[in-house]
Amino acid sequence: MTTRLRITHEGLLRGGTALFALAVPAVLGGMVWELYRASAMARQTFGWHFLVRQDWDPVAGEFGALPFIFGTVVSSALAVLIAAPLGVMTAIYLAELAPARWRRPLSFTVELLAAVPSVVYGLWGMYVFAPWLRRWVQAPLGAGLGFIPFFHGPAYGIGMLAGGFILAIMILPTIAAISRDVIAAVPASQREAMLALGGTRSEVISRVVLPFGRSGIIGGIILGLGRALGETMAVTMVIGNAPRISASLFSPASTMASVIANEFAEATTRIYVSALMEIGLLLLGVSLLVNILARLLVRRLGVNAQ
Amino acid sequence: MGQLSAGKRLVMVLVLSAALITAGCAGGKESARPGSGTGTGEPQKVVLNGAGASFPFPIYSLWFTEYNKLHPNIQINYQSIGSGGGQKAIIEKTVDFGASDAPMTDERLKEAPGKLLHIPTVMGAVVLTYNLPGVGTGLRLTPEVIAGVYLGKIKKWNDPAMTRENPGAKLPGKDIVVVHRSDGSGTTNIFTAYLSAVSPEWKSRVGSGTSVGWPTGVGAKGNEGVTTQVQQTEGAIGYVELAYAVENKLGYALVKNRAGKFVEPSIDSVTAAAGAAQNIPEDYRIMIVDQPGDNAYPISGFTWLLIYAQQSDLAKGRALLELLQWALTDGENMVSRLLYAPLPANVQDMVQKTLKTVTYQGQPILK
């Protein structure tokens, strides 16, 4: 009797927890399905051309995702270009070079950046950073190098460049924290071997630590990229929100996340809502892919380290 | 249109939310029982749910709380989820009334299971604000100039079309930085309806709506975003809703109306625009921009509640109609407090007649 009861108990535990664990993929699947279903009208109307069309005209009912794909890719790439070297250098300092008593407070400060709500970054970007950027970066760049398409056009402050910088600050802690953990996981025996061969500290870092942790660091960068792709509020507030493709980093742009945040509440026709849903589906797909890739890379490190 | 950030409204909204939550808890057990006359003379408890436009949220909150004080058995919940959401909710009948800053299209109306009525409640207006050192309130703008600037054709502040009407102002040879809303909004709907009315080129190239394909400029989120961007950029021009400009004391432009007069945006001149409107249609789906009348401010418009012409629940239908009757009489007297423009008397009368056409099982609900 008692054994049977115990087995039932175990079974309940197993069944119950499995149910909750399965609920998570079920929610994800439900979201994908709902976005797929709700975007049916846009998919039927525009087909695959939706991905390459540049029009975004809610009045005429003409929708294309290209300006938003462009804005998302360029702003995220810009963010990674800025944040990756900074993040990796921060990690090297924190894990290898900083005096022991500084490591914890410094690490804590870097991680604190990740805890700042994105709307706060947005407000700071809008009120403080964008005007600063216009005055001290865009104005001189435009005056001196305005002939290069990247720096062409009027300096608004807000725009693609401001969006990229804000995103860079936001993904910096992700990249720095993961890289630091990866570097810390490099076995002491490896470093000692290099030192025993007469290597200097910089040689240990460049020949042992970085090659050993390479895939993990790249995984951290891609996780940062994943965050940049989906970031909404802060970007919306500083990117200028114009669905246009322009070579200039000064001009206003728009991302997949920002157009949904901006336009969904007041979208009043079915095709309009459907087009926004399709952009949501695209964004979800891209984010999932990037995250899966990053996990795979980080996991490869785990295997290596053992 | 976005909510105002001004303290007065914020405090009010907070108090109201708290009041609604407590009221909701207190009344939770007694939900509306349709058509059940108790016969004891005790008024029946009715809960009305609505959702939609964010622009009129502050005045609706005030109305619904005040009405609840007068009629404690009637409780009204309103969720400010945007015009698109409001239209969807009333089509799917998940609410008793919807609210929208833009009239529903014919196509959208056909999706609804019954005939929907647009009931105008209050009016909004759009003012043009700018950042030109040495030029305060009172820059004079003609429809041609406004359309030219937003089409990207008038690029400099000292363009002849601009200086002709403003001989006294020191207009610089700077680029005009055009700022528009990035989020869909009723403000944009009124502004683009105006541009479509005064500029054939705008009408054919861009058109009107809560979001449009802007030919030029940068987009900023909300009235606050547009204001910030204008204030930070010398040479910028942007449009914000009237109440926002008044409360934040922004410098704004006088706009030349159809009668050829330069009119200052104000609660009176907005109401005058609807008063001057010659032919308001039976279904009220009209943008009252560019109206005749010496004192009519030309960039004005209604916001609407959406209700079914045939109600499916007598108690709720009666409560809703009586609420609207009250809102359009006593309620209109409190709108200017929150810097909305009230409906002019002739439109109030028209709407009262419309309310009497609403039926339950073929019979008019109101006597």
Q: Chain B closest CA to A1's CA: distance in Å?
A: 45
Which pLDDT value is given to residue B248? 80
Residue B208 touches chain A, beta carbons under 8 Å? yes
C-alpha torsion angle, residues B320, B325, B330, B331 (rounded to 10): 50
Q: Is the pLDDT of residue B18 over 80?
A: no
Residue A231 touches chain B, beta carbons under 8 Å? no
Q: Chain A: residue nearest B103 by CA? A: A268
Span A212-250, pLDDT tens digits: 888 889 989 999 999 999 999 999 999 999 888 988 999
Strand pairing category for B300-308 and B97-100: antiparallel
- When scoring B90, B210, B226, B285 by the number of chain A Cβ atoms within 10 A, the one with the most, hence best to mutate, is B210
Q: What residues contact residue B150 under an 8 Å CB cut-off, 6+ apart?
A: B178, B180, B195, B202, B214, B215, B216, B217
ipTM over 0.95: no
| Mean pLDDT confidence for A67-91 | 95
**C-alpha distance from residue B206 to each of A152, A273, B166, B185, B223 (Å):** 26, 19, 28, 16, 22
Range in A83-92, A178-187, B41-50 the model is least confident about: B41-50
Pairwise CB contact (< 8 Å): B213 & A57: yes
Which amino acid is it at A138? Q
Residue B61's pLDDT band (boundaries 50, 70, 90)?
very high
- As a whole number of angstroms, the distance between CA B274 and CA B280 comes to 9
Residue A66: its chain B contacts at CB < 8 A? none
Contact assessment for residue A301 and residue A217, using Cβ atoms and an 8 Å cutoff: no
| Beta bridge partners of residue B79, listed in sequence order | B51
Q: Is the pLDDT of residue A305 over 60?
A: no
Which pLDDT value is given to residue B25? 44
Give the start-end residues of each E strand in chain B. 46-52, 74-80, 97-100, 116-130, 140-141, 177-181, 218-220, 236-241, 254-256, 262-263, 300-308, 310-311, 359-360, 363-364
Cβ–Cβ pairs < 8 A, chains A and B: 118
Pairwise CB contact (< 8 Å): B84 & A268: yes
Residue A56: its chain B contacts at CB < 8 A? 213
Contact assessment for residue B233 and residue B338, using Cβ atoms and an 8 Å cutoff: no
Contact assessment for residue B130 and residue B174, using Cβ atoms and an 8 Å cutoff: no
Higher pLDDT, A301 or A74: A74
Q: Which helix (H) or strand (E) holds B295?
A: none
Q: What residues contact residue A232 under an 8 Å CB cut-off, 6+ apart?
A: A118, A257, A258, A260, A261
Q: Is the pLDDT of residue B16 over 80?
A: no
Least Cα distance to B179 among B244, B133, B223 occurs for B223
Residue B235 touches chain A, beta carbons under 8 Å? no
Range in A71-85, A109-123, A284-298, B122-136 the model is least confident about: A284-298
Which pLDDT value is given to residue A3? 54
Q: Which helix (H) or strand (E) holds B147?
A: helix B143-151
**C-alpha distance from residue B356 to each of B159, B273, B309, B324 (Å):** 53, 26, 10, 11
Higher pLDDT, B234 or B255: B255
Residue A24 touches chain B, beta carbons under 8 Å? no
Which pLDDT value is given to residue A283? 95
- As a whole number of angstroms, the distance between CA B273 and CA B291 comes to 6
- As a whole number of angstroms, the distance between CA B286 and CA B300 comes to 11
Q: What are phi and psi of B182, to 5 degrees?
A: -95, -30
Burial class, B78, CB count within 10 angstroms (exposed 0-12 / middle 13-18 / buried 19+): buried
Which pLDDT value is given to residue B17? 52
**C-alpha distance from residue B39 to each of A230, B35, B363 (Å):** 58, 12, 22
Cα distance from N-terminal residue to C-terminal residue, chain A: 46
Residue A157 touches chain B, beta carbons under 8 Å? yes
Least Cα distance to B297 among B341, B351, B337, B329 occurs for B341
Residue A279 touches chain B, beta carbons under 8 Å? no
Contact assessment for residue B141 and residue B196, using Cβ atoms and an 8 Å cutoff: no
Span B184-236, pLDDT tens digits: 888 999 999 999 999 999 999 999 988 899 999 999 988 888 998 898 888 99
- When scoring B1, B3, B177, B211 by the number of chain A Cβ atoms within 10 A, the one with the most, hence best to mutate, is B211
Span B260-301, pLDDT tens digits: 999 999 999 998 888 877 678 889 998 889 988 899 999 999
Residue A6's pLDDT band (boundaries 50, 70, 90)?
low
Residue B209: its chain A contacts at CB < 8 A? 58-59, 268
- The mean predicted confidence, pLDDT, of chain B is 86
- As a whole number of angstroms, the distance between CA B303 and CA B185 comes to 12
- As a whole number of angstroms, the distance between CA A295 and CA A177 comes to 15
Which pLDDT value is given to residue B9? 53
| Mean pLDDT confidence for A143-166 | 88
Which pLDDT value is given to residue B4? 44
Which pLDDT value is given to residue B161? 93
Q: Is the pLDDT of residue B2 over 70?
A: no
- The mean predicted confidence, pLDDT, of chain A is 89
| 3-state SS assignment for residue B280 | coil
Assigned token pair, A179: 């890289």
Q: Cα A95–A96–A97 angle (5° rounding)?
A: 115
Residue A45: its chain B contacts at CB < 8 A? none
- Of residues A130, A154, A267, nearest to B175 (C-beta): A154
Please give the full DSSP string across A199-226, using - where no structure is assigned.
--HHHIIIIIIHHHHHHHHHHHHHHHHH
Contact assessment for residue B93 and residue B113, using Cβ atoms and an 8 Å cutoff: yes
Which pLDDT value is given to residue B142? 96
Span B84-112, pLDDT tens digits: 889 999 999 999 999 998 899 898 899 99
| Beta bridge partners of residue B307, listed in sequence order | B117
Residue B8's pLDDT band (boundaries 50, 70, 90)?
low
- As a whole number of angstroms, the distance between CA A17 and CA A22 comes to 8
